[in-house]
């Protein structure tokens, strides 16, 4: 285990003391929770969701329902095997649980959840954070990521860009990854890198998945550990919709998505084992910080 986990154990008794005498018993998820580092001269909190209610906060999110064809994108463009509903989430102790089930619906054999914050929580540049526990189950593809708002001037995916803060393959429980997608309409051009957790650690444990999006670079973290950086430069990223720009398509508003797919191209079509019935992706907290640093003219 990493040093910071030792630090958490030392802090825990103080956390419990702080809860004594408080009318709010606090959420059990907060035990051992620490706050990830960020530079307060660069970022300021803009939105957050602690999932304290008993349902999804529809002032911040919307459910995306179906197999993608409802959005003109069958299989969500990735040959995914799940049908998304608004019935696969539960909310308890400040945690959103996304239930991935073997369940026939809409011609698919699995159900799950996909939510997005479009037109509700979005930013150009900033720091994104989520505290998540992922299911270590073969065939599951959980993700915390970003797509542009509908008014992007850069056309359609992938000319309009995609920012993957965290993706994982459930059969590889010690690894997650991040990526940028950009370039041409309908073509997957991307840069990505993976992060391996410390020996003995797993994606089932709570981890902060963080991205810092600056005007001139992207930096990915798991907890406080940076694992990838992509700096602006000639064709570091690009959009055919504005080929001469060295910032397009990543200089306009993007919103968040959280989902767990089943099967799909990300893990070569691997599906859950025959005895799979249900797994849970847990989300404790999501935050968007706005960027308050300098932007070069
Ligand atoms: Ca929470």
Alpha-carbon dihedral of residues 214, 144, 250, 221, nearest 10 degrees?
30
Mean pLDDT computed over 276-280: 98
pLDDT tens profile 115-129 = 999 999 999 999 999
Q: Please give the Cα distance from 2 to 155 (Å, whole number).
A: 43
E strands, 4-151, are 43-49, 62-63, 82-84, 89-92, 95-105, 108-112, 114-116, 122-123, 126-133, 140-148
- What local confidence, expressed as pLDDT, does residue 295 receive? 86
Q: What is the pTM of this model?
A: 0.90
Active-site residue 62, yes or no? no
Instruction: Compute the distance from residue 27 Cα to the ligand 1 centre, in Å.
Output: 7
Owner of token pair 């620490």: 34
pLDDT tens profile 212-238 = 999 999 999 999 999 999 999 999 999
Instruction: Compute the distance from residue 171 Cα to the ligand 1 centre, in Å.
Output: 26
Closest CA to 211 of 248, 175, 250, 166: 166
Catalytic-role residue among 103, 167, 204, 290? 167
Q: Give the start-to-end residue ranges of the domains of the chain.
A: 44-291
Mean pLDDT computed over 134-148: 98
pLDDT, mean over the chain? 91
CATH topology for 44-291 is Jelly Rolls (2.60.120)
Q: Please give the Cα distance from 93 to 117 (Å, whole number).
A: 22
199 pLDDT above the threshold of 60: yes
Catalytic-role residue among 80, 103, 137, 162? 162
- What local confidence, expressed as pLDDT, does residue 297 receive? 61
pLDDT tens profile 11-58 = 444 444 333 333 333 344 555 799 999 999 999 999 999 999 999 999
């Amino acid at each position: 285990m990493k040093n910071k986990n030792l630090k958490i154990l030392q802090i825990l008794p103080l956390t419990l003391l702080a809860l004594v005498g408080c009318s709010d018993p606090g959420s059990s998820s907060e035990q051992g929770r620490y706050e990830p580092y960020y530079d307060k001269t660069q970022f300021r909190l803009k939105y957050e969701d602690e999932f304290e209610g008993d349902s999804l906060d529809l002032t911040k999110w919307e459910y995306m329902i179906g197999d993608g064809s409802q959005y003109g994108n069958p299989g969500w463009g990735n040959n995914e095997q799940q049908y998304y509903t608004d019935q696969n989430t539960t909310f308890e102790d400040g945690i959103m649980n996304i239930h991935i089930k073997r369940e026939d619906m809409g011609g698919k054999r699995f159900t799950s959840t996909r939510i997005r914050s479009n037109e509700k929580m979005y930013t150009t540049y900033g720091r994104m954070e989520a505290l998540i526990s992922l299911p270590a189950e073969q065939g599951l593809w959980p993700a915390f990521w970003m797509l542009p708002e509908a008014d992007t001037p850069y056309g359609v995916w992938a000319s309009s860009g995609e920012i993957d803060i965290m993706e994982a393959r459930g059969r590889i429980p010690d690894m997650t990854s991040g990526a940028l997608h950009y370039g041409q309409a309908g073509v997957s051009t991307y840069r990505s890198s993976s992060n391996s957790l410390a020996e003995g650690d797993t994606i089932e444990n709570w981890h902060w998945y963080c991205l810092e999006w600056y005007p001139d670079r992207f930096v990915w973290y798991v907890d406080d550990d940076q694992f990838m950086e992509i700096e602006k430069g000639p064709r570091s990223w690009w959009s055919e919709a504005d080929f001469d720009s060295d910032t397009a398509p990543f200089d306009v508003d993007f919103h968040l998505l959280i989902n767990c797919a089943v099967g799909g191209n990300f893990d070569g079509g691997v599906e859950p084992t025959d005895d799979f019935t249900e797994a849970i992706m847990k989300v404790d907290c999501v935050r968007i910080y706005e960027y308050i640093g300098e932007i070069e003219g």
